[in-house]
């Protein structure tokens, strides 16, 4: 059965289907199974007409809030609704994957979505009312990232074929939508220009301050040489030795090479060592104890909880963070981890937790 379109609940059609009741939206499970029909709404007769018309009005107001559909007349808004499909998704369902063809646009009505990169790191959270894929629908460019469902969500879906047919049938609507897209791109370019300008101004100020600091350093060095009689080379070497920071060491334990590589690249201020399971991690810790251990939970040979027990029996104060996409923090309450990171995770939150755990917050 196809997902129900808004033809059946438009202001005209709802009168003809009032006695039959309304069928709810299609439901898509996180396992990627076939959509299934939801329960029927328990209204009959004129009550159904009122419910359907109220729903259409709300959706029409939602459509008007979307920049790509700004300025459309009520008739044009209804024509957009007529080609929409409403779908419900469970948490963890994938709306679409990176590099997939851009064949449709999604409008988030309720719930929450996440934009995720290839390493499973959350780049952004999306909340109602947000559109996803509208530019790809026009430009046909492949998806730039994966979009997943964070919380059970309801979305309107606009497929490419009926959308293009609608634009061909309504030149005025086509002009308005293309004009809106131009405005969106112009705003984006303008925003990018402002950010570049601010960056350049900040860079100029930084360079001025840097030149001032260097002049002061040169003056201080000259005075020091005059007072002590040391050579400039000896003083410079001593200063360089004092300025070299001692990098803290992090051990990432995960059976996925991509996660280990990502953690290494995400923590440039740390020396990052790797282990593919708990057994390797124990040997690495015995050889050279790190300042922090980040461990996956599900691994072959020795899992994360067993690793925690083994390490804490010898190094009770060793900070250990748990990392997993299969268990929740509540599942680990019986274990003494110093923190929990759920996959997919956001880069800034990950770095902040690492810094905080090793006592480097704000550094």
pLDDT the model gives residue 333: 75
pLDDT band with cut points at 50, 70 and 90 for residue 43: very low
Q: Which residue has the tokens 């740390």?
A: 270
Quote the DSSP letter at residue 335.
Answer: S
pLDDT the model gives residue 22: 29
pLDDT the model gives residue 41: 25
Indicate the helix (H) or strand (E) that contains 147: strand 146-159
Least confident of 91-105, 267-281, 349-363: 349-363
pLDDT the model gives residue 125: 85
pTM value is 0.47
Count CB-CB contacts under 10 A for residue 159.
16
Average pLDDT over residues 213-225: 71
Token pair recorded at residue 273: 């060592």
The candidate with the shortest Cα–Cα distance to 184, out of 284, 86, 66, is 66
Give, to the nearest 10 degrees, the angle between helix 278-287 and helix 304-314.
20
Average pLDDT over residues 37-43: 30
Distance CA 177, CA 157 (A): 17
The candidate with the shortest Cα–Cα distance to 25, out of 152, 137, 130, is 152
Task: State percent of the chain over pLDDT 70.
Answer: 72
Distance CA 283, CA 300 (A): 15
Sequential DSSP letters for 213-262: HHHHHHHHHHHHHHHH---HHHHHHHHHHHH-----EEEEE-S-HHHHHH
Average pLDDT over residues 126-139: 81
Indicate the helix (H) or strand (E) that contains 96: strand 94-96
Distance CA 266, CA 146 (A): 20
* Phi, psi for 141 (deg, rounded to 5): -70, 150
Mean pLDDT across the chain = 75
Sequential DSSP letters for 25-81: -EEE-TT----EE-PBP---THHHHHHHHHHHHHHHHHHHHSGGGTT--HHHHHHHH
Higher pLDDT among residues 293 and 134, named by residue: 293
**Contact criterion met (CB below 8 Å) for 55 and 84:** no
**Contact criterion met (CB below 8 Å) for 299 and 253:** yes
pLDDT band with cut points at 50, 70 and 90 for residue 244: low
Torsion 211-213-215-217 (CA) sign: negative
Q: Which residue has the tokens 């497929």?
A: 159
pLDDT the model gives residue 289: 92
pLDDT band with cut points at 50, 70 and 90 for residue 53: low
pLDDT the model gives residue 201: 67
pLDDT the model gives residue 279: 93
Average pLDDT over residues 52-57: 70
Residue 12 has pLDDT above 60, yes or no: no
pLDDT the model gives residue 1: 33
Residue 163 has pLDDT above 60, yes or no: yes
pLDDT band with cut points at 50, 70 and 90 for residue 4: very low
Chain centroid to CA 76: how far? 33
Least confident of 106-120, 135-149, 176-190: 176-190
pLDDT the model gives residue 212: 75
Q: What count of residues does the chain have?
A: 363
Distance CA 336, CA 326 (A): 18
pLDDT the model gives residue 291: 92
pLDDT digits (tens, 9 = 90+) for 169-209: 999 998 988 888 787 777 766 665 666 666 666 666 667 77
pLDDT digits (tens, 9 = 90+) for 268-327: 888 899 999 999 999 999 998 999 999 998 888 898 989 999 999 999 889 999 888 777
Residue 141 has pLDDT above 50, yes or no: yes
Chain centroid to CA 74: how far? 34
pLDDT digits (tens, 9 = 90+) for 85-96: 889 999 889 998
3 state SS of 104: strand
Token pair recorded at residue 107: 């409008």
CA angle 265, 271, 276 (to 5 degrees): 70
pLDDT band with cut points at 50, 70 and 90 for residue 28: very low
Distance CA 286, CA 314 (A): 9
Residues near 308 by Cβ (< 8 Å), separated by ≥ 6? Answer: 295, 320, 322, 335, 336, 337
pLDDT the model gives residue 149: 92
Distance CA 287, CA 35 (A): 53
């Amino acid at each position: 059965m196809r997902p129900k379109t808004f033809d059946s609940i438009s202001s005209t059609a709802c009168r003809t289907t009032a006695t039959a009741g309304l069928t709810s939206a299609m439901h898509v499970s996180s396992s990627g199974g076939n959509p299934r029909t939801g329960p029927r709404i328990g209204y009959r007769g004129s009550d159904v007409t009122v419910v359907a018309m109220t729903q259409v009005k709300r959706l029409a107001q939602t459509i008007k809030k979307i920049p790509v559909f700004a300025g459309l007349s009520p008739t044009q808004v209804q024509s957009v609704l007529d080609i929409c499909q409403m779908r419900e998704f469970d948490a963890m369902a994938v709306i679409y994957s990176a590099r997939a063809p851009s064949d449709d646009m999604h409008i988030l009505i309720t719930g929450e979505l996440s934009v995720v990169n290839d390493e499973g790191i959350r780049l952004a959270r999306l909340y109602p009312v947000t559109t996803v894929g509208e530019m790809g629908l026009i430009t046909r460019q492949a998806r730039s990232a994966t979009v997943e469902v964070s919380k059970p969500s309801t979305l309107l879906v606009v497929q490419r074929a009926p959308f293009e047919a609608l634009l061909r049938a309504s030149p005025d609507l086509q002009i308005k939508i293309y004009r809106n897209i131009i405005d969106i791109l112009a705003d984006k370019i303008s925003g990018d220009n402002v950010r570049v300008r601010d960056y350049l101004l900040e860079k100029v100020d930084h360079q001025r301050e840097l030149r001032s600091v260097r002049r002061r350093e040169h003056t201080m060095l000259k005075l020091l040489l005059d007072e002590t009689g040391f050579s400039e080379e000896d003083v410079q070497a001593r200063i360089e030795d004092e300025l070299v920071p001692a990098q803290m060491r992090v051990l990432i334990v995960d059976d996925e090479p991509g996660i280990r590589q990502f953690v290494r690249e995400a923590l440039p201020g740390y020396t990052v060592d790797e282990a593919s399971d708990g057994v390797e991690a124990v040997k690495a810790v015995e050889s050279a104890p790190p300042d922090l251990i980040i461990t996956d939970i599900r691994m072959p040979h020795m899992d994360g909880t067993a690793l925690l027990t083994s390490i804490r029996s010898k190094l009770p104060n060793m900070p250990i963070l748990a990392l997993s996409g299969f268990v929740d923090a509540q599942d680990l309450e019986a274990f003494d981890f110093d923190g929990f990171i759920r996959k997919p995770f956001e880069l800034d939150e990950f770095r902040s937790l690492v810094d905080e755990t090793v006592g480097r917050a704000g550094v």
